[in-house]
């Protein structure tokens, strides 16, 4: 089966996701959610793949990287870049997707800002796991604008040291091909010629 592609992120009340190459907060409850969501597969023969930018890779404390039980893919333009054993280093966003094979269950784009932006622009995203913190932090990196086709469903909530947050899954709405065709026809009938109206006279 073709892997599904998800984005997973945590952002503050103003869409901020990072500061100076790090996360601006420490939320153990959200880290657990990240771990559980990205590691889970229904098929024990296959693993999920996590794709991240080089800045995000370097932001992960050494003792926590690579993320175990997942195929780790790091994107960098630096051809000499090396990461830990077993980590796949690629040199373009497109090559990251080429690391998908039959042993990959689902793909998670895990950040940061540059990777999320390319994910929306270049891939067919199936859904977004987004933790929304109910507080503002100082940030220099933002989560991109979520396309309107994605509709949020609240799937949980949590708090760490008084910082509250909610877990959402943004599901991509399927566009009904019949409705699409209808709106195309509708568009055409607006043309004065087709609608039987006389075209505007030139002055």
Nearer to ligand NAP, 3 or 10 (CB): 10
Q: How far apart are CA 73 and CA 118, in angstroms?
A: 15
- List the beta bridge partners of residue 154: 168
Q: Count Cα atoms within 13 angstroms, Cβ side, for 71.
A: 23
Nearer to ligand NAP, 51 or 105 (CB): 51
Binding ligand NAP by CB under 6 A: which of 3, 5, 6, 17? 17
Q: How far apart are CA 157 and CA 174, in angstroms?
A: 27
Q: Count Cα atoms within 13 angstroms, Cβ side, for 139.
A: 21
Site string for ligand NAP, 37-66 (x = CB under 6 A): ---------------xxxxx--x-------
How many other C-beta atoms lie within 10 A of the C-beta of residue 104? 17
Q: Does residue number 114 form part of the binding site for ligand NAP (CB under 6 A)?
A: yes
Min CB(79)–ligand NAP separation in Å:
10
Q: Does residue number 23 form part of the binding site for ligand NAP (CB under 6 A)?
A: yes
* Coil, strand or helix at 146: coil
The residues of the shown chain that bind ligand NAP, judged by CB under 6 A, are 9-11, 17-19, 21-23, 52-56, 59, 75-78, 91-93, 110-115, 118, 141
């Amino acid at each position: 089966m073709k892997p599904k592609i998800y984005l997973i992120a945590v952002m503050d009340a103003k869409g901020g996701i990072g500061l100076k190459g790090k996360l601006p907060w420490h939320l153990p409850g959200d880290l657990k959610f990240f771990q559980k969501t990205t590691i889970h597969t229904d098929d024990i023969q296959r693993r999920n793949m996590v794709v991240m930018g080089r800045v995000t890779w370097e932001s992960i404390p050494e003792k926590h990287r690579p993320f175990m039980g997942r195929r780790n893919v790091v994107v960098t333009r630096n051809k000499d870049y090396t990461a830990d054993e077993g980590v796949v280093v690629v040199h373009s966003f497109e090559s990251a997707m080429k690391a998908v094979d039959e042993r990959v269950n689902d793909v998670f784009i895990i950040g940061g800002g540059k990777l999320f932006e390319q994910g929306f622009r270049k891939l067919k995203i199936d859904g977004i796991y987004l933790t929304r913190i109910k507080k503002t932090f100082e940030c220099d990196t933002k989560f991109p604008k979520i396309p309107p086709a994605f509709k949020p469903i609240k799937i949980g909530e949590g708090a760490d040291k008084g910082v509250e947050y909610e877990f959402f899954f943004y599901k991509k709405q399927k566009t009904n091909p019949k409705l699409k065709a209808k709106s195309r026809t509708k568009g055409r009938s607006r043309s004065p010629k087709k609608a039987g109206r006389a075209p505007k006279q030139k002055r």
